[in-house]
Chain A
Amino acid sequence: NAGVTQTPKFRVLKTGQSMTLLCAQDMNHEYMYWYRQDPGMGLRLIHYSVGEGTTAKGEVPDGYNVSRLKKQNFLLGLESAAPSQTSVYFCASSSDNRGSYNSPLHFGNGTRLTVT
């Protein structure tokens, strides 16, 4: 049982380049999330999805786009990378239990992105 898998694990980009981070989960979870983790700032929500075909903005969405074409995948795109987007990116998923919106997040192992 793989859980939440993120690819790639590491990436170095030059300013202005584009890339896509892939998140895949095999737990049939409805909710998926992209966070960025920066020193002293904790985790901040970039975008999230409450189901296949849906996306919504989180706390820091600027400069990122997402797509959820398939339930198991949640893609995070950077169209024109900037040094301020140097960070560790975590994907997470959770189940949609109508009895509780409160199922814990299952996190991937993260992608370390450096933009020079």
Chain B
Amino acid sequence: AQSVSQHNHHVILSEAASLELGCNYSYGGTVNLFWYVQYPGQHLQLLLKYFSGDPLVKGIKGFEAEFIKSKFSFNLRKPSVQWSDTAEYFCAVNSNFGNEKLTFGTGTRLTIIP
């Protein structure tokens, strides 16, 4: 069974700081990887996704993530965060073969201090 680990439960940064949120997964086969964001009081929205090809994926709002297969990781990055990035971030994975169910990590709460 696949699983996703997000080791940072709560991250607090000042505006303009750089961000990196960790995501590791366990699954032996080919996977698809996602980052979802949940702004306060809202539903989850897709931030970016990786299916194949270039392991560096760019998403909305200046976010990017790098798939490192050897490390089973898909860390989320942003060079300079803004107060509006305050949200909860979820990494998710599903297999690339016949498994349509996403497995989510436990989430990382990001608080940006103005």
Contact = CB atoms under 8 A, between A and B. Distances in A.
Interface of A: 31, 33, 35, 40-45, 48, 50, 58, 90, 92, 94, 100-102, 104-105, 107-110
Contacts of A31: 100
- Best-buried of A43, A45, A109, A110 by chain B (most CB within 10 Å): A43
B46 A109 contact: no
Interface string B78-114: 0000000000001000101011111111110000000
Given A101-B94, A102-B51, A110-B43, 14 more contacts: A33-B101, A41-B106, A42-B90, A43-B44, A44-B104, A45-B101, A58-B101, A90-B43, A101-B96, A101-B100, A102-B96, A104-B49, A105-B46, A107-B43
3 closest A-B pairs (Cβ-Cβ)?
Answer: A42-B106, A107-B43, A43-B104
Contacts, number: 53
Contacts of A40: 9, 106
B102 to A, nearest CB: 7
A interface majority secondary structure: strand
A107 B44 contact: yes
A94 B43 contact: no
Interface in B17-73: 32, 34, 36, 42-46, 49, 51
26 contacts: A40-B9, A42-B6, A42-B90, A42-B105, A42-B106, A42-B107, A43-B44, A43-B104, A43-B107, A45-B101, A45-B103, A58-B101, A90-B43, A94-B100, A101-B94, A101-B96, A101-B98, A101-B99, A102-B51, A102-B94, A104-B46, A105-B44, A105-B102, A107-B43, A107-B44, A107-B45
Contacts of B51: 100, 102
A31 B99 CA distance: 12
A109 B43 contact: yes
B49 A102 contact: yes
A40 B6 CA distance: 10
Contacts of B104: 35, 42-44
